[in-house]
Structure 1
Amino acid sequence: MFVLSILLLIAAAVLFLVGRGRTGAGGWKLGAVLSAVAGVLAGVFSCVHVVSAYEVGVPVTFGKIGTPLVSGMHFKSPFTDVTSFSTRPVDLDLNGKDVVEVRSSQGGVLYADVTIKWAVVPAKAVALYRLAGSEEAVEERLVLPDSREIVRNVFAKHTSEEGYASAREQISSEIAGLVKERLAPRGIDVTSVNLRNVRPSEKLQDQIDKKIQQEQATERATEASRTAKAEAERKRIEAEGIARANKIIERSLSDKVLYNQCLEAYKEAAKANPVYAVPCGTDSNGTPVIVDSGKK
């Protein structure tokens, strides 16, 4: 803008000089006036800079960095360049082609989708300008590489199973803490880190499936063994119960009891058919014999 102002003023001077030496040069003089006015306006605008809301400007004059400019209108030297940084939160999405490939402590490959929300701290705009040079470079040179490095380092401390299942919340918390700790001194405020998805590679998925099948087979074998042991224990208890019952019966079967049972049997048999019976004996040779009268 300042260069344009100089060119317009030079043009105004040329038009004025050319028009002064000619008769009827009203058009030349008018052109000179208009050029001079335009040159002055361009010069004024080159000395004014407006910083938009939610932005901070870093002025640089001949390589010297000045005090950051807050939102509003500012007067500056026409030789001063102002680099603006947005202070609004920005989402850095590490997914798709930018997904983070990580390795677990066991060497398994996983893919992590991460979203990092960050913003420039206005008071640290000068430091960020020195480190990166522009708002786009802040993300490319600072936020992106540091975040990817931290994500890989955190996953490397955990097993594959912890990475995609059991410890995802813990891993997300670790990543958030380390990213904030790394970027805060540089003037970058990390408001949130969201570990949205973790998926194993195809090779790791095959290993996981085989492990699950082995665990299921082991569980089935363990259950079968447990069932067999329970059945054997049940049969042992049943056998012991029968043995104890037989011992009780054996102790209770005296000669008098057997004689009484023999008489009861004769009574029941006599109700149906006449019988001839040898009286029951009470010694070892006295086995009762029942003879049906209908048979010879």
Structure 2
Amino acid sequence: MLFISLLLLAAGLVVMVLRRRGAVRGRAATAGGILTGVLGVLLGVTTFVHVVEPYEVAVPTTLGKIGGTWQPGLHLKSPLTDVTSFSTRPSDLNLNGNDTVEVRSSEGGVLYADLTVKWSIDPQHTLALYKLAGSAEAVQQRLVQPDSREIVRNVFAKHTGVEGYTSQREAIAAEIEKQITDRLAPRGILVNGVNLRNVKPSDSLQHAIEAKIQQDQATAQAEAAVRTAKAEAEKRKIDADSTAAANAAIAGSLTDKLLLSQCIEAFKAAAEKNPVYASPCGSGGTPVIVDSTKR
């Protein structure tokens, strides 16, 4: 910018000198020379100031020397000073498509994980990040992306293919977010969330997972049938024990006299319709005559 400013200023001065010497004539040439000089001066002035936009932090460097961070606002600087700006707004690192993370389960199966890491720069660590990476784009490429991919692989390697694909996805996502946060926070990178959007197994692992799920379902059904059979057997045993106890109680309470008395009472009731009724209730098989008319 300073070089362009000097060129414009020099061009304006040349036009004015030529106009004075008569080599160039006309008001258009004079106006052009003046306008070119003014543009050169204005561009030259802009090389001495820099505006840091809202939600940005800037790092100035002058001839290889790094200065302190600049907050949003107008700052004066040398024309030889380069300014690198870092946005403090949240950014998304999308690991999908060509950047999908290929992971392996604890059993060696291959899965493909799609996720988004939401991150932002801590303004207080901008200077350290500049020294580490050099720019906001480099922070994502050199720090956030490789660390995130490494952590995703390490976390999935602790789980089986079935857990990674189905049962433990929420737990795996929470563990990934915690580890990425712990890894990047000391470097001044804030992690605002990790979204594990999709986990897709390879074809061979897909077949193995489906077979495992079917096997687990069959095992669960068999275990349920065993539990039902045991419960029914226990119920039958309880019923049998109760019946045996009742029979034993009845058998212990019955005597010959009691049986004879109950038999006589029963046939008395029957003799209400028959005046004389023979009942084999006597001891030794002797019949007992029940005459309902005599009572």
Fold match (TM-score > 0.5): yes
Give distance in 1, aligned partners of 2:23 and 2:258: 163
1:161-214 C-alpha deviation (Å, 9 max, x unpaired): 4434554444333322322222223232x2422334353414333333322322
Note the 1:173-184 alignment, pairs <5 A: 173-184=174-185
Rate the CA distance shift 1:212–1:232 in 2: closer, same or farther, 3 A: same
CA distance in 2, matches of 1:280, 1:34: 144
Q: Which runs of 5+ in 1 are unaligned?
A: 289-296
Unaligned runs of 5+ in 2: 288-295
Whole-Å Cα distance in 2 between the matches of residues 124 and 244 of structure 1?
Answer: 83
Match of 1:11 in 2: 11
Identity of aligned residues (%): 57
- Structure 1 residues 207 and 287, CA, compared in 2 at 3 Å: closer, same or farther? farther
Q: Which residues of 2 match residues 155-170 of structure 1 at below 5 A?
A: 155-170=156-171
Once the two structures are superposed, the pairs formed by residues 253-264 of structure 1 within 5 Å of their partners are: none
1:8 alignment partner AA:
L
SS of 1:154's equivalent in the other structure is helix
Distance in 1 (alpha carbons) for counterparts of 2:175 and 2:200: 20
Aligned-residue CA RMSD in angstroms? 3.8
Aligned to 1:66: 67
Separation in 2 of the partners of 1:249 and 1:10? 130
In structure 1, distance between residues paired with 2:134 and 2:14: 41
Q: Indicate the residue corresponding to 1:114 in structure 2.
A: 115
Q: What is the match of residue 106 of structure 2? A: 105
Aligned partners of 2:180 and 2:191 also within 8 Å? no
Alignment-derived partner of residue 137 in structure 1: 138
Q: Give the letter for the 1:128 counterpart.
A: L
Q: Distance in 2 between matches of 1:253 and 1:31?
A: 137
Are residues 272 and 105 of structure 1, via their aligned partners in 2, closer, same or farther at CA, if it must alter by over 3 Å? same
Distance in 2 of aligned mates of 1:197 and 1:79: 47
Q: Is the 8 A contact 1:114 1:193 kept in 2?
A: no
Report the Cα offset of residue 75 of structure 1. 1.9
**TM-score when normalising by structure 2:** 0.74
Partners of 1:47 and 1:75 within 8 A in 2: yes
User: Deviation string for 1:105-160 (max 9, x for gaps)?
Assistant: 23333333332221122232232222222222221221111111112212222334
Structure 1 residue 94 corresponds to structure 2 residue 95: yes
In 2, Cα distance between equivalents of 1:141 and 1:241? 78
Which range moves more in the overlay, 198-207 or 257-266?
A: 257-266
Residue pairs, 1:1-296, within 5 angstroms: 1-22=1-22, 25=25, 27=27, 28-188=29-189, 190-201=190-201, 202-232=203-233
Change (3 A) 1:255 1:122: closer
Q: Please say if residues 91 and 117 of structure 1, whose CA atoms lie closer than 8 Å, have aligned partners that are also in contact.
A: yes
What is the rounded CA distance, in whole Å, between the counterparts of 1:171 and 1:177 in structure 2?
10
Q: C-alpha displacement at 1:54, in angstroms?
A: 1.0
Question: How far does residue 256 in structure 1 lie from its aligned partner after superposition?
Answer: 7.9
Between the aligned partners of 2:23 and 2:199, the Cα distance in structure 1 is: 85
Counterpart of 1:45, as a letter, is T
Higher mean alpha-carbon deviation, 153-162 vs 73-82, is at 153-162
CA, structure 1 residues 230+126, in 2 after alignment: closer, same or farther (shift >3 Å)? closer
Decide which moves more: 145-154 or 178-187: 178-187
Q: Residue 53 of structure 1: SS of its match in structure 2?
A: coil
**What secondary structure, in the 3-state scheme, does the structure 2 residue paired with 1:184 have?**
helix
Q: How many residues align?
A: 287
Q: Deviation string for 1:47-99 (max 9, x for gaps)?
A: 22211111122222222222222211222222222121111111223334433
Preserved CA contact (<8 Å) 1:2 1:46: yes
Distance 1:10 1:159, change over 3 A: same
Checking the alignment, whether the CA contact within 8 Å between 2:103 and 2:156 is kept in structure 1 is yes
